[in-house]
């Protein structure tokens, strides 16, 4: 059973437009959420996180929104740039389990 779900395997967005990556979770005990970015042949790198006491966290072009009632979070990238083309993973932790669980990822293609 997948506790962190990224239902879109891939997404294509025009350069300069907004990219929105979605993530759903099933464990109501999760209270800390992270987004990672991965280029080919490299390990995932941390992008941005959010605690459940907030509903929004912003860092430059990246904003994460958290909707606890819907158990949904999203990552907004604006404006999208060619270097944003990568696989993005959503991850979560919390409750009695401190382990960090990852989704399957969404491949983002930024089109010129």
**Which chain residues interact with other proteins by CB under 8 A?**
4, 6, 32, 34, 36, 41-46, 49, 89, 91, 93-94, 97-105
Count CA within 13 A, CB hemisphere, residue 37. 15
Among the listed residues 28, 21, 10, 25, the one whose alpha carbon sits nearest the alpha carbon of residue 47:
21
Between 36 and 110, whose beta carbon lies closer to other proteins? Answer: 36
Between 11 and 100, whose beta carbon lies closer to other proteins? Answer: 100
CB of 16 to other proteins, least distance (A): 28
């Amino acid at each position: 059973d997948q506790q962190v779900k990224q239902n879109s395997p891939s997404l294509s967005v025009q350069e300069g437009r907004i990219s929105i990556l979605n993530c759903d979770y099933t464990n109501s005990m999760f209270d800390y959420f992270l987004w990672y970015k991965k280029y080919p042949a490299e390990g995932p790198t941390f992008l941005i996180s959010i605690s459940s006491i907030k509903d929004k966290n912003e860092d430059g072009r990246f904003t994460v929104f958290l909707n606890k009632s819907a158990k949904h979070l999203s990552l907004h990238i604006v404006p999208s740039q060619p270097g944003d083309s990568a696989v993005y993973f959503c991850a979560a932790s919390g409750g009695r389990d401190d382990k960090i669980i990852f989704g399957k990822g969404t491949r983002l293609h930024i089109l010129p």
